[in-house]
Chain A
Amino acid sequence: MDLLLQQLINGLFIGSVYGLFAVGYTLVFGVLDMLNLAHAAIFTLGGLIALWLVETAGVSLWLAFPMACVAAGLLGLLLNQVAFAPLRKRSDSQFSGLISSIAMAIIFEAAALGLFGARSVRFPVGTVPTHTWQIAGITITLLQVGIVCVAASLMVILTLFIGRTRTGKAIRAVGENERAATLLGINVNGIIAFTFFVSSALGGAAGILFGLYFNNLTPDMGRSIELKGLAVIILGGMGSIPGAILGGLAFGLSEVLTVAITGTSNLRDAVAFAVLFAILLIRPSGLLGRGKTREA
């Protein structure tokens, strides 16, 4: 029982990182109806930049975290400018945007490989104070609590921002109908660029938390989360932020539960993708989606 509870708690921690990653992913899709496959590469670069700041530049993690998030956000602006903005007027922009984001993902990954090398790297010992609690037979580390708190507060801030502020309203308006938003005097290009900045900064934050949690960063670490992130946003419903959060948690929990039930980690991802496949067939709009997926 304790073991199961411990597994559930672990699933919550990793699920909150998935959720944070997926929120940025789904944000861009909600606004542009385009899948940004370079999101995982920015996730990787966010983690690696934070590591470089801590290890080489000697910045404390508290400062390195926001700095790396901003750097990831700037990469997002670059991504939008190079790979998405020139294609937006094209009739096949959904398809060509997907391709150009793959191209940027390759270029970003090559940059990560060139700048940081192919070996796996880790944060220096003592970056985060090691402290553990034992509650009712369950072990929780300070790092895990920190990860959940940071991920949760970022997601809450984003939800409030999208729901309550004027800019958030503009983002939703552009997502709803770009032309109508233009007619209403919304600076559509600015809003899209801003969305990329926010999305990529959140992706970078997820990369830093992921790197801290597993204490292992490689230039291709984005590859495994890329597929999981796609699964999460489809599970939650494309473009839905609460859906992405919920999907992330569900995915994290399903992973640990599969391991707990089958006793091996072999089937972990297979179950998740089988569920994804079934959801696409039964309810392609996902758990909290907008229900217009068939025409997309």
Chain B
Amino acid sequence: MEHLLQFYAIYGSVINFIGINALLALSLNVTLSAGMLSLGNAAFAAVGGYTAGILSLRFGFPYVASLAGGTCAAGLVGLVIGLPVLRLKGVFLAMATLAFGEVVRLAAVNLDVTGGAEGLTGIPNVTTTWMIYLVLAAAAYFIAMLRRSRLGWGLVSMREDETAASSLGIPVTYYKAVAFVIGAMLAGLAGGMYAHLNYLITPRDYGFFIAVDLLIYNIVGGTNIWYGPILGAALLTALPEVLRGAGVTAGPIRMGINGLILLLVILFLPNGLASLFARRRSSAVKAGA
């Protein structure tokens, strides 16, 4: 127990970040499972984070109410952005959400209410580790259930072939909008929790490269199963610490290893590291039978 406490004292912040990143990765997974590549989830997290932060700081809302406000604000923005943007496909959807993300980031830099480039400081520090992991568990359960639902199967069928899905009577546009809004709300919730974890949020926390990181977590972990994004986020968030522990302190090497892992996964494990477990399980079933 003592060792565990010591471990937590040293690595507590990494553990918290793993939880937040996993939550953000899950939020992207909702749209990815439908084959929609959105690079706007960091911006939704920013909307949620700033809204929750402002509600707590300026209006004295209690924590849960601030989080709810941030989540709803992100969902609302997701709906307003999603309806026009979801007509676009593939790379063009990615670019539109990316442009939206940059506009949000630059708005946060320029507005007074968001505190400009220095960000919003003095947000009450009330998010704790157990809250993060409770929410993460709930979100993971929700995603797992979603996948088994009518909506979830619809999203998968849209990823495989949108025309066929639509001709089978799946309301493609409606399902896309729902997935987009769910993703935005999850991201907003994660953003709000992050804002209350860290005293401050700055526009830098939500740039393009954060959006790309979320994508990387999903790809490395695997997008086809609920624990894939969590696995990817945990591995890649912890990796710098693990490497530091192993004596690798040079920044370029750590960065290069990150890139190398991503490259190897996309080349040789297109369904992510989670497919390793799935494969072993299916071969075990075969061996048993």
Contact = CB atoms under 8 A, between A and B. Distances in A.
Interface in A89-128: 90, 92, 94-96, 98-100, 102-107, 109-111, 113-114, 118
Contacts of B92: 234, 280, 284, 293-294, 296
B102 interface: yes
Q: Using C-beta atoms within 8 Å of the partner chain, give the interface range for chain B.
A: 35 or more
B263 A103 contact: yes
Contact of A294 (B88, B99, B208, B270): B88
**Interface of B (DSSP majority class):** helix
Contacts of A280: 85, 88, 92, 95-96, 99
B172 interface: no
A142 interface: no
Interface in A253-296: 266-267, 269-270, 273-274, 276-277, 280-281, 284, 293-296
A87 B252 contact: no
A273 B215 CA distance: 21
Given A99-B215, A102-B212, A284-B92, A270 B106 contact: yes
Contacts of B270: 90, 92, 96
A207 B23 CA distance: 37
Nearest to B263: A103
Interface in B82-118: 84-85, 87-92, 94-96, 98-100, 102-103, 106-107, 109-110
B114 to A, nearest CB: 13
B99 A231 contact: yes
A111 B252 contact: yes
B266 interface: yes
A82 B255 CA distance: 18
Given A266-B110, A277-B103, A293-B88, 14 more contacts: A83-B263, A87-B266, A102-B216, A103-B259, A103-B262, A103-B263, A106-B259, A110-B259, A114-B253, A234-B92, A270-B107, A276-B99, A277-B96, A280-B99
Interface of A: 35, 82-83, 86-87, 90, 92, 94-96, 98-100, 102-107, 109-111, 113-114, 118, 223, 227, 230-231, 234, 238, 266-267, 269-270, 273-274, 276-277, 280-281, 284, 293-296
Interface of B: 37, 84-85, 87-92, 94-96, 98-100, 102-103, 106-107, 109-110, 208-209, 212, 215-216, 219, 250-253, 255-256, 258-260, 262-263, 266-267, 270
18 contacts: A94-B91, A99-B215, A99-B216, A99-B219, A99-B262, A103-B263, A106-B255, A110-B255, A110-B258, A227-B98, A267-B106, A269-B106, A270-B102, A276-B95, A276-B99, A280-B95, A280-B99, A296-B89
